[in-house]
Amino acid sequence: GKTAIVSGLNYCSRIFALLGEILVRIRVDKRSPPQGPFLTARLEEVKSLHARIIGALAHTPPPLRLKPAGVRHGAVASMLQAQRGYGPVGSTTGPMFASNSAFAQQTFAEVRDFFDNPNANRENASNHFLVMQGNLYVTQQLVRFVIEQYRDELMTSMRHSLGGDIKELENNSAEDREAVASDLLNVLHSIPIQSIATNGPSLVHKVRFVASTLLDAVRKAEEAPASAARAHAYLWDFLSILSEIERNYILDDEKDGPPDAVMSN
């Protein structure tokens, strides 16, 4: 049978339930930091939440399933698919990360056409499943990022309490942050920009939250891997595109004006 669009809302609810679980634990632990066996138990709980968010969308129905990066609709798709050498999911090598300027220019053009041209193709924007994909997969990466951040805090606390070296832990945390950046980019790459734009400022804020923390981490690092630098430079480009989407929504609100102003005219 057909897949109901409400199924996407069900998956979204599960993701937010996981976010609620981690936020409750963070709030409790801020009031009374766990120690000893309680710290070990909390870390196991957070690791379990991490495994659950990673697999949260593993069994989505086909209409909600993310296409591989590089398989995309629209004018950007034609440009990207004409190139070869895409790496696997999570990869920051190949043309996808080597053609920032061309991609950004073409995507900006699509965004402006979407908002400014009343005759622009709205097929992707009216595809409820593609719009839902944007919300689902970006939210998944946001919640994953929050969970990984707190897991790393707990592991650092445990290592300090045991008097161990945290250098290896810091390296692993940096790799995790790079993986989030790469996977978030793959999500943004795999969904039509019109579908992303339809989600509006709420999606922009989610990406900005993750990106700002990641970019700060790279700036503070003495030696960031070249792949991480590419991923974050590319993410910065995409933030510019998302800001353009947000700007257009703000302009629309200003055109509408407050209710009182409309009534007085």
Q: Is 49 left (phi over 0), alpha (psi -120 to 50) or beta?
A: alpha
Tell me, what's the pLDDT at 190?
Answer: 87
How far is residue 227's CA from residue 97's CA, in Å, rounded to a whole number? 9
With beta carbons less than 8 A apart as the criterion, state whether 46 and 150 touch.
Answer: yes
Least Cα distance to 8 among 127, 103, 123, 119 occurs for 127
Say if 262 falls within a structural domain.
Answer: no
With beta carbons less than 8 A apart as the criterion, state whether 217 and 177 touch.
Answer: yes
- Chunked mean pLDDT (size 10), the chain, 265 residues: 89 97 96 92 94 95 81 39 36 44 73 77 82 94 93 86 71 77 84 88 87 68 61 71 81 59 47
How far is residue 154's CA from residue 25's CA, in Å, rounded to a whole number? 11
Say if 219 falls within a structural domain.
Answer: yes
Model-level pTM?
A: 0.77
Tell me, what's the pLDDT at 262?
Answer: 44
Tell me, what's the pLDDT at 115?
Answer: 77
Tell me, what's the pLDDT at 159?
Answer: 82
Tell me, what's the pLDDT at 249?
Answer: 80
Say if 263 falls within a structural domain.
Answer: no
Name the 3-class secondary structure at 68. Answer: coil
Domain that holds residue 99: 6-255
Say if 17 falls within a structural domain.
Answer: yes
With beta carbons less than 8 A apart as the criterion, state whether 194 and 102 touch.
Answer: no
Say if 142 falls within a structural domain.
Answer: yes
Tell me, what's the pLDDT at 46?
Answer: 93
- Give the chain's domain count: 1
